[in-house]
A and B are shown apart, each in its own frame.
Chain A
Amino acid sequence: MKAFTFGLTFVRHGETEFNKEGLLQGQTIDCPLSEVGLQQAEAAGRYLKDVKFSNLFVSDMLRARQTAETIVKHNSSCAGLQLVCDPLLKEKSFGIAEGKRLQDAKDMARAAGQSWAVFTPPQGETQEQVKQRVKEFWLKMVHQVGRQQWASGGEDERSSAPRVEGEEAHDLPAHALVVSHGAYLCMIMRFLVDDLHCPVPEGCSRARMFSLSPNAGVSRFVLTLAKEDNAFKVSQIRCLFVNRGDHVKTEQDGSSFKIAETR
């Protein structure tokens, strides 16, 4: 059984005016990045400039596309790559709550007697529906990356024991960039942890893993793909870091007070 490792970097789009106001966007609101959002995308681009990407996937919404284009601009390895815009990566639809404040949507949930985590605003997508999209996108992406790798003579010399050790995240044979949206990315994390049994990284809790990524926040995973019959399966998956946002200048207030940053 032959296998190869590939890296996966998720990026949430940069800030938009709606993000700043704390309003839900969902699928109907397709606004561009704000000034700050463009700067955040630039910061993410600089942060990722040395990663050799082999595949680029982005949601077809404007804010994600702008973010992805900025990242690609800074990265020399992306020069010849095609930016695949996929509607499967769209943000979760919040139905009639779109354009309203998050707080109003939570009030709606409470009025319906449900917690915000499981509540579906009228005409919105259920968690199950989002998960379905995630699964479809996942199969599509894994298939595309796997096929591409195999086609380029990708016989792995290290294939006898598909290990993640000894691999350096910047020199993996393949590395996919996925730029998407907040609620959608949360669902992806759940899918990776619950369905694909990705272990939570050290020092991180499940709650942190499933929390909303900051704008232009980056998460990275390393997976081992094995070819079984004609399909590709994930034989091993590891999370390097999740929801990293310190490359982006953010306002932090004193609510979470730790000295853990001392060096």
Chain B
Amino acid sequence: MAATSVEKGSWFPSLALGVSLLKALFMNAYHSTDFEVHRNWLAITHNLPLSRWYHENTSEWTLDYPPLFAWFEFSLSHVAQHFDNKMLVVSNLNYASPATILFQRLSVIFTDLLFFYGARECCRCVRDRKGTRDIFTHPSFVLAVLLLWNFGLLIVDHIHFQYNGFLFGFLLLSVAKHLQSQHLQGALLFAILLNLKHIYLYVAPAYGIFLLRSYCFTQDNRDGSIRWRSFSPLRLLTLGSIVAAVCALSFGPFIAMGQLPQMLSRLFPFKRGLCHAYWAPNVWALYNVLDKSLATLGACFKLLNETTLPRASMTGGLVQEFQHSVLPSVTPSITVVCTLLSILPALASIWRRPRGARGFLRCLLVCALASFAFGWHVHEKAILIAILPLSLLAVESRDDAGIFLILSTTGHYSLFPLIFTLAELPIKCALMMMFTIFSFAALGRLHSGRGSLLHPLEVVYLSGLAVVAVACELVFPLSPWQQRLPFLPLLATSVYAALGVCYSFLRLYFTLLRQDSGKFKQL
């Protein structure tokens, strides 16, 4: 590839350094339960033999990530012992000395280096514009800022505390490798990622179909349809062995000890409810609200007998099972079926007319959003799996930039309830404004020339977000309903954001299917 502006400028290291220093400012911010989760995992992996890792339950935060992440915690624990030995004692529940917190915060900032590397590789894959002096009209620069300074990652990783930057580094690197046609490396990275956090199963179908279609079948017919005879068993075998080797390395020791059922019950705790305590803005949030409204209306108009309705206690704050009152109850199997049905058209489209790595990326996004929309017990943080890769498409195409603006603003806003303390309110509002203003300005500038990126109705919807935000953060706490209906702001945020997310999902799907019927673009 021709030298891009990434090599020519030194702005990437400056951006990276700048955001790392910004992260250091959040050292003493809100202390979430995730600190205790990871401290517990550090202690378990450090002290206990392998056979106890998935059985230990002294703490309520049991190990529920795949083995490679446990090994990651194990290596971190060796650094941790130099900060504070006591955090590594398993029975030291809720131990949180300043040294412990310092170590944990620094470890996230440090592991973000992998994210920087992944972002850099993605920036190098983006088609650059020639002849412009202004760095703000370089797609790679805009992409770098959208990725490195992403609002969602900043608050989820550095205020709430998680290791998503590290994990997304793998995802972005894998996508970049596919864009550079190094499919084996991309597959290897994804296999590692799956064994680090199994939520990425959301996008595994896209990988599977794409690699099978575009890598294992080496040639296409002239009209783009599949040429069955070009099937290469060697390639399939190589791919399969890479993935199998990674999984064997990770799960092997545990299967040998016969712990597979226990591990599966830890990794997939389906006894948690349909929705998380705070509903992710997905289809089920809308379904719940519909059910609740129908129940209330029915009781109001005496169409339904209130006492015979099963109690629908879904607006409680803790994780629980759900039973719907009026509409049929949703089970895990229903969610799996819905998700699979919703991604089938996308997968079929990629199979029939492969569009190279960018088509794959689009399909990945559709899978991520579909799983978000229909999944069981989805966390609102999972929206980042869709927002981050979408940035890549946004800097290259107008339509995608429009979708990105809606999805990222809505998705980021839906993360607001995650950080609910008063001290962090100015921080999250300021960061959100910063990112939103930049994304609108930069993408607008990048794709300038043919009018605004957003339809007027879309602008109205996004402005409505600001109204909901003000209502939930400022007006509601001071209103008389705060005591009686404490769940109302969450409900409002969830439902309003769900509309935006579902709309972006449909628009993205539409662009994917539209490309299928028209001319397909080369890589």
A interface residues with partner B (beta carbon < 8 Å): 47, 50, 164-170, 201-203, 220, 222, 238, 240-241, 244, 246, 249, 251-263
Contacts and interface: CB of A to CB of B under 8 A. Distances in A.
Contacts of A253: 311, 313, 316
A246 B265 CA distance: 15
A173 B47 CA distance: 17
Given A167-B91, A203-B94, A220-B58, A263 B379 contact: yes
B55 interface: yes
Chain B CB within 10 A, most for which of A252, A255, A262 = A262
B220 to A, nearest CB: 44
A220 to B, nearest CB: 7
B98 interface: no
A259 B276 CA distance: 10
B58 A169 contact: yes
B93 A261 contact: no
A252 B48 CA distance: 34
B33 A262 contact: yes
A160 B60 CA distance: 32
Interface string B292-311: 00000000000000000001
27 contacts: A164-B91, A165-B92, A166-B89, A167-B91, A168-B91, A169-B58, A169-B90, A170-B56, A201-B93, A202-B93, A202-B95, A203-B94, A238-B91, A241-B60, A241-B93, A251-B320, A253-B316, A257-B317, A257-B486, A258-B317, A259-B278, A259-B490, A261-B33, A261-B317, A261-B319, A262-B33, A263-B34
Nearest to A244: B60
Given A50-B55, A251-B320, 6 more contacts: A50-B52, A240-B58, A252-B318, A257-B486, A259-B420, A262-B379
B90 A257 contact: no
Contacts of B94: 201-203
Interface string B417-428: 110100000000
Contacts of B317: 254, 256-259, 261
A247 B311 CA distance: 22
B487 A262 contact: no
A222 B271 CA distance: 30
A168 B320 contact: no
B278 A240 contact: no
Contacts of B95: 202
A170 B52 contact: yes
Contacts of A251: 313, 320
Contacts of B271: 249
A254 B56 contact: no
Nearest to B320: A252
Given A259-B278, A261-B319, A170 B32 contact: no
A254 B33 contact: no
A262 B418 contact: yes
B321 interface: yes
Contacts of A256: 317-318
A251 B313 CA distance: 9
Interface of B: 32-34, 37, 47-48, 52, 55-61, 86, 89-96, 160, 271, 276-278, 311, 313, 315-321, 379, 417-418, 420, 486-487, 490
Nearest to B277: A261
Contacts of A222: 91
Nearest to A165: B89
B313 A252 contact: yes
A240 B60 CA distance: 11
Contacts of A255: 316
A168 B92 CA distance: 9
Q: Which of B58, B379, B417 has the most CB of A within 10 A?
A: B58
Nearest to B321: A249
A165 B95 CA distance: 12
Contacts of B417: 259
B48 A168 contact: yes
B522 to A, nearest CB: 43
B487 A254 contact: yes
A102 B33 CA distance: 36
B371 to A, nearest CB: 18
B277 A240 contact: no
Nearest to B418: A262
Contacts of A168: 47-48, 58, 90-91
Contacts of A240: 58, 91, 93
A254 B277 CA distance: 11
A246 B96 CA distance: 23
A157 B160 CA distance: 42
A248 to B, nearest CB: 11
A240 B502 CA distance: 44
B187 to A, nearest CB: 29
A251 B379 CA distance: 22
A202 B487 CA distance: 27
Contacts of A169: 58, 90-91
Given A166-B89, A201-B93, A263-B33, A50 B58 contact: no
Contacts of B276: 261-262
A167 B91 CA distance: 7
Nearest to B486: A257
B355 to A, nearest CB: 37
B316 A254 contact: yes
Given A167-B91, A257-B486, A262 B278 contact: yes
B89 A252 contact: no
A262 B31 CA distance: 12
A263 B57 contact: no
Nearest to B94: A202
Contacts of A246: 60
A168 B52 CA distance: 11
B454 to A, nearest CB: 31
Given A254-B487, A262-B276, A262-B278, A170 B58 contact: yes
Contacts of B33: 260-263
